[in-house]
A and B are shown apart, each in its own frame.
Chain A
Amino acid sequence: MIEIKNVSHTFAIGKKGKEKKVPVLKDLSFGIARGEIVSIVGKSGSGKSTLLNTIAGFMAPEQGSIVVNGQETASMNEVTHAQFRLENFGFIFQNFQLMPGLTALENVELPLKIKGIPSAKRKVKVKELLQQVGLENVSDHYPNELSGGQQQRVSIARALVTNPPILLADEPTGSLDSETEQDILLLIQSLNKALNLTFVIITHDEEVANIAHRKFRMHDGELVKEVL
């Protein structure tokens, strides 16, 4: 599903002219299969988010190839990659990243709107998903009228609404208490089973990392497989 080969990236840090070169990703190569949950743990600043951002296409790695769903994405231009993301990825963020001006329902609807799906079709799909994440009775609440856990459910529903095969999650439970965290983890596991979805989860929480089928540890830009 995702094939990463020899991906390297270096950041230039500090003032222009006096910048320091910091290698963040060092010649990474690994693959993720369809329906697999992969977790990546590591110290803060070890490069976890940077890796996920290159997979997501938010940034291009300096070197290496990333093949997602059979397509080389590392060299795609912005417009093509935007379309590719719309089709292939769902995103779950640490701070949910919901639109404050839109209700829960409208937030979930947004990717379908961007995709150009007509309103009637959208409504059916959105209803179904809100039911699936257990939010049908708060669908007309605005994000600031929802709890953290509810907000994360909305964002998961939004990630799923376009039926992408892959979900990318950067610290999905980072802003939640441990009880809510459990709810979300259970939801992720059940979605993985029910829809055969592929998950890439970045976390510094070992408990979260342990729901994965495979677990990697990022260390100084290098990836080490850990036994579960």
Chain B
Amino acid sequence: MDVAVRASAAAATAEDAGHGRATARRRPRVGVVKFASCDGCQLTILDVEDHLLEIAERFDIVEFAEATSRRSSGPFDVLLVEGSISTPEQAVEIARLRAEAKLLVVIGACATAGGIQALRTAAEHEAFRAAVYPVPAYVDSLATARPVADFVQVDAELRGCPISPEQLVELLVSLTTGRRPQLPDQAVCLECKRRGIPCVVVARGLPCLGPVTRTGCGAICPAFGRGCYGCFGPRENANTAGYAQALVTGDAAAGADGRGRDPVDVGRLFAGFTGATQPFRSVTDSLAGRPPVTLRPTLASPPETLRAGPPTWGPAPSAPEAPSAAAAKEAPDGPRQ
């Protein structure tokens, strides 16, 4: 569940960021870099208005192309990486950056799942190139656009296209407090229901990827009367085969005539922003009659628990003697709270 954050790196960061202590500590150096992507996720970072000042106070943003012209080569305490790896140079560059970063966090559908450009992984790369570019020989690209975790160890991920500003803040808060970031891996449906949005599958017969997609967006699409596009990628244990089957048979989202959907359309539904993830890709492949491919899991590192740094509030390490029960009793609001 949740996001995996590598132990040592997170502990170091928690210590660096300091929490409400008078003693100033070194602010963690944060970098934001991008590969093949649209910059939308980076822009989200500027979108956290209420917290922007505090983030700038607590973190030293040393590299952020969208916001400043400063350039720094690292090292980074936290490196946020946007975009998928789609050229040979990028593959080299991400390896270099990994060596410079204590904590590498991939952000957005491109970096976590390949993104929309990973559609080419299910197609003929040369044919694509020839169709798009007048002189394909000028374009040096890898045959696939792949998530960052296919190339280097990743410590944490923020999903979405674009990422959610709230989740970004939650991740940063978890770094300064040492608590487990609450980035639920459950289906969009839960948020949809909590918000009281009538299900578009049941009420309107629209196909919606919400049941197999990870929550985090706040169920934006159903709130506007459309089906979920799956931009946060597969939820835990997504039963994509069962859902695709139901869309084809008409058990789910049947039209007015009670009939199901064309398998080709259902396949396309799963081939969007995060279509290059195993649970979605296997549906697209099987509905298109292609042999199944095995993709690497999006999060390369096995989920580990975030380790807290030592608490920064509380008595100083040199606290002389501990208060007694009597002292606790004297506290203004008494022992019962």
A and B: interacting chains? no
Question: Chain A: residues with CB nearer than 8 A to chain B?
Answer: none
Question: Chain B: residues with CB nearer than 8 A to chain A?
Answer: none
